[in-house]
Structure 1
Amino acid sequence: MKNLASELSVAQQLAGKRVLITGTTGFLAKVLLEKLIRDVPSIKQFVLVIRGSKKYNNAAERFEREILSSSIFDRLREEQAQYLADVVNNKIVFVTGEVTEPLFGLGQLKFNQLANTVDIVVNCAASVNFREALDQALEINALSVHKLAALVRMAGNIPLIHVSTCYVNGYQEGQMSEQLHASTSKLIPQHADGYYEVQPLISELLRKIAAVKRNCLNADDLPQALTELGIQEAHRYGWNDTYTFTKWIGEQIACREMQGKTLSIVRPSIIESTLSEPAAGWIEGVKVGDALILAYARGKTSFFPANPKAVIDLIPADLVANSIILAMTEALHSPHQRRIYQSCSGSRNPIILGDLIQIIQTACKRDWRSYERLFHRQPGSDFRCVSRPVFLLTMSAMKLALDTVCFARKCLGMKQSFARLESFNTTHNLAVVFSFYTSPNYIFQNNKLRELEQRMGKSDRSMFAIDPERINWSKYMGNIHLAGLNRYALKDKRRDKNSDAKLAPEAVNTVTANIA
């Protein structure tokens, strides 16, 4: 029988603590913040570092317009309106700062003052665009960790909870455990403490970024040139895209900067809508798998390169938020350790891609009238998975035919854009960005996270559930997720006549990766 005195308690460990969170304008951090406000009232203060924007100059205004106004807080507004107002007015400190800047752009005095007001840092800030320009991805996903570590040291070596992604495994295959992963290129040496020496790599990347900026004659071409550089370097070192490559670099920086200190890395797999809290199916924006669902719903594509027998790893956002909270609890209780936790479903409650497609497709055909924003008409042909060689051959044949049609239309003075060409471009762009993730040769393990869960008290194991065995895939993806996507993520087609623009080929690359 477990010793009750040895059980960890979220409320006890976070009582009186001042929690700094970055990235609260993002999807996951909103879920985390709402959960902490609602279920951990013992927290003394929330310190939110939010950069100003063109629309909103300061953190407080941006919080009010982009975070507090979000439907994520609807439950609190309905059930505990006065409590929510009290928290916002009395327990939230707004810091207008930029985590990519030295001292967050605050200056030394204000940075020192900030350090004196926090007890734990949770870093959710990230660029989650798969194909971000390399300079931007490197700054936010990797180099910003230096600035966060400086704050941690100034604050007295307080714990850092760093949100990463399971997909830092890159091209590695097999069972992916909760440990640091090597580059498959073998080009990056490993330190005796386990992390990888990335400073020479960073210097080389910065040199190449500077060269691209120096040699690019047309400013309009620079973002694409830096995006291509990011993909090129990611492939060279063993990753599919700039996002996962720079997140891996960020992990190594965190481990180096936090040697001997308290560091917990939380790696989610593909984050999708909430399972139950604060509302079933809550989601913000179109995420990884949703881009394909939306393309199918709008008749933009009906086939994709994928392995239907491969395990696809999805995890609801509320389970990820709970995993972060448990990691915070343990870090405060048992400091001066480095821990890695993976919030994932593949090893505990796996679902293969073919079954997932069947669940979604069946639900779409059955209930499409219930999802008026998702579907503009009844779905037609079935969605098919094909091998990559078959996909490439089919796309080549389609391109040849479409080029002929385009030439004929041009000769006749007709517009070049038409439905089949748009469908081709959508399918092509989706495949470029996402096909790596639909043919996985790896399984993510979460043994350490499950062990952490068992160290929690019974009530906390229920309130802060992390076990993916709770997921009934048919109910979650066939009902909860589709309803949430329709309700929360998509605009009302009756108000937005251009809602199909969400699937314009040039927009596909900006679909949120949301792998963390």
Structure 2
Amino acid sequence: MEACHSRSNSASQSTTAAQTVALHSYAGKSIFITGVTGFVGKVVLEKLLRSVPKVERIYLLIRSNSRYPTAAERFQAEVATSTIFDVLKDEGEAEFAALCQRKLRFVSGELTAERFGLEESAFAELAAEIDLVVNCAASVNFREPLDDALATNTLSLYSIIQLTRARKVPLVHVSTCYVNGYNEGTIEETIAPPAQLSLPRNEAGFYDVEPLIASMQEKLATLSANISDQDQRQAALVELGIELSQQYGWNDTYTFTKWVGEQVLLQHLGGQALTILRPSIVESTLFDPVPGWIEGVKVADAIIMAYARQKVTFFPGDRQGVIDIIPADLVANSIIVAGAEALGGMPAHRVYQCSSSEQNPLTIKEVIEHVVYEARHHHTNYRKLFLRQPRRPFIMIPGWLFHLGLGMAYSAGACWQTLKGLLGAEASVALSNLDAARKLAGVFSFYTRPRYRFSNKKLLALASRLNDEERAAFPMDTAELDWQHYFRRVHLPGLNHYALDAKRARLKSAAPQRRPVATEVVKVTS
């Protein structure tokens, strides 16, 4: 892989390499966080509130909506009620509300609008208050219309840049390991080149993506002008995103626009502290605040769910391929420690990968074995995941064989449909299952045919600079992670309880708050 950073940035990074990192860097500091309504953002916020008591203020950018007209109201309804905060609430609802009242400040704004939609004066006041920006916001839909993905994952960063420039405050930007696209082999913690089409570089050595962004915007404008039907336009925007992404060497619009976003930050934040932190596939928490906490169905879980419901029993992939999974609390710890380094160190550009594939590789074969074992022997423990015991095994086959088999099955399915009167509902179910397999493969098969391993040596070196107490409180190391224990005793139970049985899990957290959780500081302009 190629290193793409300026000499000054390299020098800054080597100068700080031997310095210790301490969480007391947060003492008296104010943090601005985006994406707190999302999965990773919630885990970061909970850990800060519970384990970094000396932080002064946490400003949260949250988009209001018709149901919740302010950020504070939406936070109280959609974030504060989350089970992620149950450990904090064990001390009492009133105590949790008081903690939020002391620490949290809310900004009602739109991430993709210029200056988040704030008046210039309000934006300037906000910039004057903060000491660190943590950008957790992203659109993680792999088949997002290109205009939406570009707005969220790339163009929104210009407002982030403007916010940090006022006082040259550090930025921790949460990206993804998969910005490395179709590149293969060992992926180092540096800036990945496009795997297929080349792009020009600027004088500092960064990829010049401004012409690429302009070209995409021109294509978007042309497409929107030529297609009036909304559904057809949305479908065309999805296909345009996939086409351009794969043309340049990325599997999907999400990873492509995240890579372009990284280049924007590198180009515009010269001389400032910028940390790009790339998690791999983020799944349920390992330790904190409880083992197995998860929100929603993630990449690996979509396939697990399809097997659990017997909709998909064969899938394209490499059984011996190493799939890179990282628990969410290790990601949150990495973000927080990277923030401490940025607050206490010299300005530099840093890239860290929060991953497991190099240090503690997990094969797809092992994942399948853990899931099938629980399905066969303990399916009654998973009331929501396994509605009944799966009768068929889960088979991972080469991609060419999958598509050949799918085509043959569709041909047979057409015959079944013709004879539906004789076969009853079975034909419809079979065709529905084939369609589910096809759709899942279209989105996720890239991740089940891995040809790469993500290095995390720099992140481990960062962890080594913590003292023993803080290293234990903020673990980032996957070396000792027991994957069998994680899947069978942590992740699958957590998926069943928190993600799939969410209504039941939220009963405790949904208790009425005794007081407002915090105050609104600025609102979006009308």
Q: Same fold (TM over 0.5)?
A: yes
Which consecutive residues of structure 1, in runs of 5 or more, have no partner in the other structure? 496-516
How far is 1:412 from its partner?
A: 8.8
Mapped pair 1:189 → 2:233: no
Three-state SS of the structure 2 residue aligned to 1:264 is strand
Query: What is the letter of the counterpart of residue 338 of structure 2?
Result: A
**Aligned residue runs from structure 1 range 232-243, under 5 A:** 232-243=243-254
Which of 473, 479, 496 is the equivalent residue of 2:489? Answer: 479
Query: In structure 1, what is the equivalent of residue 473 of structure 2?
Result: 463
CA contact (8 A) 2:26 2:340 kept: yes
Tell me how far apart the structure 1 counterparts of residues 410 and 427 of structure 2 sit (CA, whole Å). 14
How far is 1:493 from its partner?
A: 10
Mapped pair 1:204 → 2:212: no
Query: What is the letter of the counterpart of residue 18 of structure 1?
Result: S
Tell me how far apart the structure 2 counterparts of residues 416 and 236 of structure 1 sit (CA, whole Å). 40
Query: In structure 1, what is the equivalent of residue 348 of structure 2?
Result: 337
Query: In structure 1, what is the equivalent of residue 263 of structure 2?
Result: 252
Mapped pair 1:439 → 2:456: no
How far is 1:414 from its partner?
A: 7.8
Tell me how far apart the structure 2 counterparts of residues 483 and 98 of structure 1 sit (CA, whole Å). 35
Count of residues in Structure 1 that have an aligned counterpart in Structure 2: 488
Query: In structure 2, what is the equivalent of residue 406 of structure 1?
Result: 417
Which of 17, 20, 31 is the equivalent residue of 1:7? Answer: 20
How far is 1:357 from its partner?
A: 1.0
Query: In structure 1, what is the equivalent of residue 402 of structure 2?
Result: 391
Mapped pair 1:422 → 2:432: yes
Query: In structure 1, what is the equivalent of residue 131 of structure 2?
Result: 119
Tell me how far apart the structure 1 counterparts of residues 423 and 324 of structure 2 sit (CA, whole Å). 48
**Aligned residue runs from structure 1 range 186-335, under 5 A:** 186-335=197-346
How far is 1:98 from its partner?
A: 1.0
Tell me how far apart the structure 2 counterparts of residues 493 and 426 of structure 1 sit (CA, whole Å). 26
Query: In structure 1, what is the equivalent of residue 386 of structure 2?
Result: 375
**Aligned residue runs from structure 1 range 350-361, under 5 A:** 350-361=361-372
Query: In structure 2, what is the equivalent of residue 499 of structure 1?
Result: none
Query: What is the letter of the counterpart of residue 282 of structure 2?
Result: I
Tell me how far apart the structure 1 counterparts of residues 113 and 489 of structure 2 sit (CA, whole Å). 43
Which of 25, 38, 50 is the equivalent residue of 1:38? Answer: 50
Query: What is the letter of the counterpart of residue 244 of structure 1?
Result: T
Tell me how far apart the structure 1 counterparts of residues 244 and 49 of structure 2 sit (CA, whole Å). 41
CA contact (8 A) 1:373 1:493 kept: no
Which deviates more, 291-300 or 188-197?
188-197
Tell me how far apart the structure 1 counterparts of residues 304 and 426 of structure 2 sit (CA, whole Å). 26
How far is 1:218 from its partner?
A: 1.2
How far is 1:362 from its partner?
A: 0.9
Three-state SS of the structure 2 residue aligned to 1:468 is coil
Q: Which has the higher contact order (CA 8 A, sep 6+)?
A: 2
Tell me how far apart the structure 2 counterparts of residues 136 and 252 of structure 1 sit (CA, whole Å). 18
CA contact (8 A) 2:354 2:459 kept: yes
**Aligned residue runs from structure 1 range 152-163, under 5 A:** 152-154=164-166, 156-163=167-174
For 1:68-91, what per-residue CA distance to the aligned partner results, in whole angstroms no more than 9, with x for missing partners? 000000111014645422221122
Which deviates more, 441-450 or 217-226?
217-226
Query: In structure 2, what is the equivalent of residue 25 of structure 1?
Result: 37
For 1:437-485, what per-residue CA distance to the aligned partner results, in whole angstroms no more than 9, with x for missing partners? 1011011000000000011111110000000113110000122101000
CA contact (8 A) 2:315 2:402 kept: yes
Q: Percent of counterpart pairs with the same letter?
A: 44
Q: Please, what is the CA RMSD of the aligned residues?
A: 1.9
Give me the TM-score of the superposition, normalised by structure 2.
0.90
Query: What is the letter of the counterpart of residue 263 of structure 1?
Result: L
For 1:195-237, what per-residue CA distance to the aligned partner results, in whole angstroms no more than 9, with x for missing partners? 2100000000000011110111312211111000000000111
Tell me how far apart the structure 1 counterparts of residues 405 and 192 of structure 2 sit (CA, whole Å). 36
Tell me how far apart the structure 2 counterparts of residues 157 and 407 of structure 1 sit (CA, whole Å). 68
For 1:144-189, what per-residue CA distance to the aligned partner results, in whole angstroms no more than 9, with x for missing partners? 11110000012x0100000000000111101100000001224311
Query: In structure 2, what is the equivalent of residue 507 of structure 1?
Result: none
Which of 141, 146, 153 is the equivalent residue of 2:158? Answer: 146
Tell me how far apart the structure 1 counterparts of residues 199 and 493 of structure 2 sit (CA, whole Å). 45
- C-alpha change, 1:216 and 1:35, in structure 2 (3 Å) is same
Which consecutive residues of structure 2, in runs of 5 or more, have no partner in the other structure? 1-17, 506-526
Three-state SS of the structure 2 residue aligned to 1:167 is helix
Tell me how far apart the structure 1 counterparts of residues 203 and 351 of structure 2 sit (CA, whole Å). 18
Tell me how far apart the structure 1 counterparts of residues 82 and 264 of structure 2 sit (CA, whole Å). 33
Mapped pair 1:64 → 2:76: yes
Which deviates more, 259-268 or 219-228?
219-228
Query: In structure 1, what is the equivalent of residue 4 of structure 2?
Result: none
Query: What is the letter of the counterpart of residue 99 of structure 1?
Result: L
Query: What is the letter of the counterpart of residue 195 of structure 2?
Result: T
- C-alpha change, 1:492 and 1:145, in structure 2 (3 Å) is closer
